[in-house]
């Protein structure tokens, strides 16, 4: 099987052999991905010239209807997607649901948000600014669709959600998208796009997909375009320095590496509900999607008095987790996406071993259910302990992108500063009923994190999870995490809309507002 790209309104195949993608349970080759010989610049032009005008001719509510229709097509084919996720990503049923159902849910959320804006094609901010001494000259700020294309470069761990969460916001904003999925798991993105294209539920040129090397796409970026990237800090740095980005200044949103943390407050004791809730969340971090989530917990900051009890509780629960082929009965955790990712994770573990000791895991499991541990890309859930987190460096700098987290004992007053040593993260969570401690802690945590989850006993198990990204909330983080921002409800539209100051007399501003189709945020 050789995956095709959907460009300029047609399915096209690259001219070379390309790279392989595999079944991570067996190492068996599933197919190849290649984009050599494809005209990426022409595809970007087609999206701008054909898809862009068609979308901008629609109001927000009409674009929202497109998103609802896309969600409907994907829902109809849900079971087939789950099988692809198992074969190509090693996903359990729960893993696949987070990715696939999360994608469909995000489309539906943005469909509802878009419907609330009605027939408008312009957004006007509330309020006005008087600019002259006499009340005759005023300003208002308006948002309009940029006449470009939104280029999306996605990570391997969420081939469904990564594709559609970015495309949903761009389409609602009236901007066509061109998505480049990661080669390792591109199969699912291709099948989803194939179904949507066949259903003809969006204007031609509005959705585009390139499988394979996407370097030519970046070169083709123009001033009105945007680039949303999810991946490594190394690749992000190369994108920031790309000549097309420096010369033409397209919008840039980056989500990169993130050493996320969770904190247990000073009021948490081994016999408290919060203790069990925190243990449960850490076990999820070490098993769901084999730990391959950008927002996952990597550092666990625990009061020194209870650190022994906490890590013992986590290890005990991990001992009951069955690792293996997701198709086998009772398996709760599958493999990493391929052997290259396992090798990278093992290299990271080797580096962390200079500052930690291993409490459980640390390498390939001795036995896996329904598979050969030597053939598949399996890594045992790994819990490490760092005795001196204040003196350590690597635990705050190294992201092992897999089922690995480090427990460290600290005083409650030290925890916020330790969390901030991640250099900027996507998410941090705090388990505490102590409102004073939470308020004081947030003063330090908030500037360093894109999202803060506080779990008290009233929330209990009703929270959505440390790692789960909700479309109503912003997703992204400062510093090392890339400095980008996605989603956040209608806030996400700002990557694709141009804000302009509109200066005129009050009567003229009013008449313009009446004549144009506008919505007020």
Residue 404 CB-half CA count within 13 A = 31
Report the candidate in 67, 143, 158 with the shortest Cα–Cα distance to residue 107: 67
Distance CA 25, CA 378 (A): 8
3-class secondary structure for 454-509? EECCCCHHHCCCCCCCCCCCEECCCHHHCCCCEECHHHHHHHCEEEEEEEECHHHH
Angstrom distance (rounded) from CA 350 to CA 502: 57
Stated length of the chain = 521
CA separation for the pair 100, 180 (Å, rounded): 17
* Coil, strand or helix at 264: strand
Report the candidate in 404, 371, 467 with the shortest Cα–Cα distance to residue 87: 371
Q: Which long-range contacts (CB under 8 A, 24 or more apart) does 18-21 make?
A: 18/212, 19/183, 19/212, 21/88, 21/183, 21/184, 21/185, 21/186, 21/187, 21/338
Contact 406, 349 (CB under 8 A): no
- Please answer whether residues 293 and 95 qualify as being in contact, where contact means their C-beta atoms are separated by less than 8 angstroms: no
Residue pair 344/34 in contact by the 8 Å Cβ criterion: no
For the question of residue 255 being annotated catalytic, the response is: yes
β-bridge mates for residue 262, sequence order: 300, 429
134 included as an active-site residue: no
DSSP codes of every residue in 428-451: EEEE-S-HHHHHHHHHHHGGGEEE
Instruction: Give one DSSP letter per residue of 99-130, joined into a string.
Output: HHHHHHHHHHHHHHHHHTTTT-SEEE-SS-EE
CA-to-CA distance for 369 and 375, rounded, in angstroms?
13
Strand partners, 519: 123
CB within 8 Å of 360: residues ≥ 6 apart: 315, 318, 319, 380, 381, 382, 383
Q: How far apart are CA 259 and CA 481, in angstroms?
A: 8
The single residue of 294, 386, 404, 410 carrying the catalytic annotation is 294
Q: Which of 4, 255, 281, 486 is catalytic?
A: 255
How far lies 368's CA from each of 263, 288, 379, 429, in Å?
32, 16, 10, 32
Kindly report the number of other CB atoms within 10 A of residue 6's CB atom. 22
Give the β-pairing of 150-153 and 226-230: parallel
Residues with catalytic roles: 255, 294
């Amino acid at each position: 099987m050789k995956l095709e790209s959907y460009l300029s309104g047609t399915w096209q195949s690259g001219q070379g052999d390309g790279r392989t993608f595999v079944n991570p349970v067996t190492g068996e080759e599933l197919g190849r991905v290649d984009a050599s010989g494809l005209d990426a610049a022409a595809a970007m032009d087609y999206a701008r010239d054909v898809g862009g005008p068609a979308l901008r001719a629609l109001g927000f509510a009409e674009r929202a209807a497109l998103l609802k229709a896309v969600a409907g097509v994907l829902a109809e084919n849900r079971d087939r997607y789950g099988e692809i996720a198992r074969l190509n990503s090693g996903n359990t049923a729960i893993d696949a649901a987070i990715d696939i159902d999360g994608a469909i849910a995000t489309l539906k959320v943005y469909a509802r948000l878009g419907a609330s804006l009605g027939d408008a094609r312009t957004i006007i901010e509330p309020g006005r600014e008087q600019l002259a001494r006499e009340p005759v000259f005023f300003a208002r700020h308006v948002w309009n669709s940029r006449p470009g294309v939104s280029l999306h470069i996605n990570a391997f761990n969420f081939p469904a959600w990564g594709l559609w969460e970015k495309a949903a916001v761009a389409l609602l904003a009236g901007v066509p998208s061109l998505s480049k999925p990661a080669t390792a798991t591109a199969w699912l993105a291709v099948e989803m796009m194939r179904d949507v294209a066949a259903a003809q539920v969006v204007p031609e040129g509005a959705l585009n997909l390139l499988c394979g090397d996407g370097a030519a796409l970046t070169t083709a970026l123009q001033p009105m375009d945007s680039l949303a990237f999810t991946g490594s800090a190394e690749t992000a740095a190369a994108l920031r320095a790309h000549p097309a980005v420096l010369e033409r200044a397209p919008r840039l949103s980056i989500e990169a590496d993130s050493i996320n943390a969770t904190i247990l407050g000073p009021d948490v004791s081994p016999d408290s509900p919060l203790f069990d809730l925190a243990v449960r969340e850490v076990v999820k971090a070490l098993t769901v999607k084999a730990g391959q989530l950008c927002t996952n917990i990597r550092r666990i900051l625990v009061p020194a008095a209870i650190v022994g009890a906490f890590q013992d509780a986590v290890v005990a629960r991990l001992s009951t987790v069955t690792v293996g082929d997701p198709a086998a009965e009772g398996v709760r955790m599958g493999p990493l996406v391929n052997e290259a990712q396992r090798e990278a994770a093992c290299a990271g573990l080797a580096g962390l071993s200079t500052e930690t000791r291993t409490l459980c895991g640390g390498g390939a499991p001795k036995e896996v259910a329904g598979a050969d541990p030597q053939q598949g890309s399996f890594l045992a859930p790994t819990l490490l302990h760092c005795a001196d987190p204040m003196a350590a460096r690597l635990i705050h700098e190294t992201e092992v992108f897999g089922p690995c987290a480090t427990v460290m004992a600290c005083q409650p007053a030290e925890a916020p500063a330790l969390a901030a040593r991640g250099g900027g993260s996507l998410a941090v969570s705090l388990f505490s009923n102590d409102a004073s401690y939470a308020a004081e802690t947030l003063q330090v945590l908030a500037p360093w994190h894109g999202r803060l989850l506080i779990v008290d006993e009233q929330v209990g198990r009703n929270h959505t999870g440390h790692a789960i990204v909700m479309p109503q909330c912003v997703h992204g983080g400062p510093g090392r995490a890339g400095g980008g921002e996605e989603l956040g409800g209608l806030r996400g539209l700002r990557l694709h809309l141009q804000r302009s100051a509109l200066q005129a007399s009050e009567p003229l501003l009013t008449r313009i507002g009446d004549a144009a189709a506008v919505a007020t945020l």
